[in-house]
Chain A
Amino acid sequence: MNRLTESPDHFRHTGHPRKGFFTDTSICIGCKACEVACKEWNRNPHDSEYELLESSYDNTGSLGADTWRHVAFIEQDREQIGRARESGRALVSLGMPSVGPPGQDQASNLAGADTTPPDTPDFRWLMSSDVCKHCTNAGCLDVCPTGALFRTEHGTVVVQDDVCNGCGTCVAGCPFGVIERRRDGTAGPKTERDFTPGEQAPTHNVGVAQKCTLCYDRIVDGQTPACAQTCPTTSIKYGEREDMVATARERVAELHAQGLTEARLYGANDSDGVGGTGSVFLLLDEPEVYGLPPDPRVPTADLPRMFKRAGIAAAGMLAAATAAFLAGGRA
């Protein structure tokens, strides 16, 4: 990554370890308790008036200004399961990088294990709780002009909602489509925690970019983020990012040993386009099936080159104007 781009390394001196999530979708039951807990704790307005999306049991749709946890729901048939398993097997045989300590080559361990796939079921349900990735190289943070988005001492990315002026650049800068400008909502104060239950509370932070804070207000007090605390199956795990990645690696090796070659990790690789994500996922199909980008890249990775091209273009404009006065002055 170029020198311009910010990353949590700058914050190592804070003495706090980098925090993150590991979302193990293989044990998610799609109960959406995380969505509810997130909305409750952060007092986020609801997204719509009970709109049904008519595509699956997911009626939330996507992450956004008012939805900081989103449970995806996908129904697949035998053919699709077979394809997922096949694409996972192709990944394994690529010899994808082992980012962990050298010497522990799980791929060779896998060779000895019984990799006969279990009976392929006729269909399966994929459920996955999506969240802000809290990227190592965060696109939203880099392009924010006001400094409203900042890196916390826990290595997470948070909006200061009293600074943000709602320019919307971060919305375009996020390769995962997470952050969004809040339009209006129908509920939700954070300023007044002692609101009257059952009464409509005024919407806060309208016109300001909003996204998951990894419950900054909870983790500074040593608490677990609301979604992870409420998750009944421990599909959402919270802790130090290094531990999360280690847990994820163990889990994917375990699933591979059971023949579930469709299992794969998302965001655990520090050499990927966003420098690895703070929220690591275990997926059971290609990322785009869950609405995740297959090869995200932080846009500022190419920024020095873009500045160079713009500089050449600006010089060209000056040259054209000079030439115009030299040529047109004579006429």
Chain B
Amino acid sequence: MTVSDFDDYRPAEPPRRRKRGGKRRRAGGGEGRGEVPVVPEAEFTSYYGRPVVKPPPWGDPIAVYLFLGGVAGGSALLGVGGQMTGKPILCRNSRLAALAAIGVGAVALVEDLGRPERFLNMLRTIKPTSPMSLGSWILTAFSAGAGVSAVSEIDRMTGSRLPLGPLRRLLRGLEGPAGVEAAVFAAPLSAYTAVLLSDTANPTWNAAREDLPFVFVSSASLAAAGLAMITTPVKETGPARALAVLGVAGELIATRFMEKNMDPVAAEPLHLDGPGRMLAWSERLAIAGGIGALVGGRHRLTAAISGAVLLGASALTRFGILRAGIRSAENPRYTIEPQKNRLAARRRAGIIHDSITTTE
């Protein structure tokens, strides 16, 4: 429609989208799969394909923290084990690993805040409904123990040259109990991050809530064991190798259960695109590292390579899960379809009192 001569200067209008095309996405299958849908397309409407829920503003530093927090937790357990069974090198290396991992992890966590200078506000209150709040306290308690025991190791390694004065005797006395204290918070530190992700409206993380903690503790175990296999001579890494194998087995089983228990639509991002490839490779690396630890763990070089492979597997798991969740929030289909299905299922079962949509 031209109402003025100047309208000729306007660029040509883009071809109009089919009216429903904009509001409807093809259901079933992901982008770039080229499959012919066998099942008729599910009824699925959205507001111009825009997301319903928002992905959290969590970037790679959070994935790094998920990974390093797990490494720290597993290392503290190996450290206390070495402490109790008389494996001084394993104990020392694991304590140092725990402090280094939790130190870098905490920095990554603070770095990802919108207002990093206010990070201490995390300890402003204790809130049982907030996994982030409980996690901050777990992280603080863990760091205290891991810090004391690791500083004591550093002091011993440097030939008691740290300027500690009379505090040295106190430090030596505290290192054992501190190692145990860190170990008490080690497993919660490795598991709470799963609750942190699942206790959200994010379709994929929330659907994984039953089994994600098991995936995360397994991933933490195999990563810490892998790190010990790199840093420690083979004569003391027997427990680390066993933990690596248990971790790999645990992760493989837990991942299977997780995907079985998830809503099939919400589970899709775990197999699609970048995150899907990461998780697939994570599984392959975990199997390879586990076999390496089991078969060649007594050979120093094989053990170190297997350890590195296991660390890579754990890092890929964390990045994959984090990014898959963020992808799932960006596509409204993963929010709307599972919700519509569960609402319809409840209605079929005769439960009609709890819908947010009412007619009177």
Contact present for B242 and A328 (CB under 8 Å): yes
Q: Mark B333-360, 1 if CB is under 8 A from A, else 0.
A: 0011001101100010000111111111
Contact present for A169 and B132 (CB under 8 Å): yes
Contact present for B52 and A320 (CB under 8 Å): no
Contact of B81 among A146, A289, A325 (CB under 8 A): A325
Contact present for A310 and B213 (CB under 8 Å): yes
Contact present for B355 and A269 (CB under 8 Å): yes
Is A97 interfacial (CB-CB < 8 Å)?
yes
* A292 nearest CB neighbor, chain B only: B52
Contact of A172 among B200, B218, B239 (CB under 8 A): B200
Q: By DSSP majority rule, is chain B's interface helix, strand, loop, or mixed?
A: helix
Q: A310 and B122 in contact (CB under 8 A), knowing A169-B200, A320-B221, A324-B81?
A: no
Of B122, B127, B250, most A-chain CB atoms within 10 Å: B127
- Please name all residues of chain A whose beta carbon is closer than 8 Å to the beta carbon of B48 when the two chains form the complex: 53, 55-56
Contact of B343 among A145, A267, A294 (CB under 8 A): A294
Contact of A316 among B58, B85, B119, B250 (CB under 8 A): B250
Is B33 interfacial (CB-CB < 8 Å)?
no
Q: Mark A254-281, 1 if CB is under 8 A from B, else 0.
A: 0010000001111111011110010000
12 residue pairs of the A-B complex, CB under 8 angstroms, read A144-B133, A165-B113, A165-B121, A166-B118, A180-B57, A271-B353, A283-B357, A288-B336, A300-B129, A314-B187, A320-B221, A321-B78
- Please name all residues of chain A whose beta carbon is closer than 8 Å to the beta carbon of B53 when the two chains form the complex: 172, 174-177, 293
- Give the interface residue-count category, chain B: 35 or more
Contact present for A287 and B121 (CB under 8 Å): no
A146 to B134, alpha carbons, bound, how many Å?
11
Tell me the number of A-to-B contacts counted with CB atoms below 8 Å: 338
Q: Mark B40-61, 1 if CB is under 8 A from A, else 0.
A: 0000011110111111111000
Of B58, B128, B199, B360, most A-chain CB atoms within 10 Å: B360
- Please name all residues of chain A whose beta carbon is closer than 8 Å to the beta carbon of B20 when the two chains form the complex: 80
What 10 additional pairs, Cβ within 8 angstroms, besides A274-B356, A299-B200, A313-B191?
A: A55-B22, A97-B353, A166-B118, A266-B357, A269-B358, A306-B209, A310-B192, A314-B188, A317-B220, A323-B242
Contact present for B354 and A271 (CB under 8 Å): yes
Is A243 interfacial (CB-CB < 8 Å)?
no
B contact residues vs A (CB 8 Å cutoff): 14, 19-20, 22-23, 45-48, 50-58, 73-74, 77-78, 81, 84-85, 112-116, 118-119, 121-122, 124-125, 127-133, 135-136, 186-188, 190-192, 194-196, 198-202, 205-206, 209-211, 213-214, 216-218, 220-221, 225, 237-243, 246-247, 250, 329, 332, 335-336, 339-340, 342-343, 347, 352-360
- Please name all residues of chain B whose beta carbon is closer than 8 Å to the beta carbon of A176 when the two chains form the complex: 52-53, 201
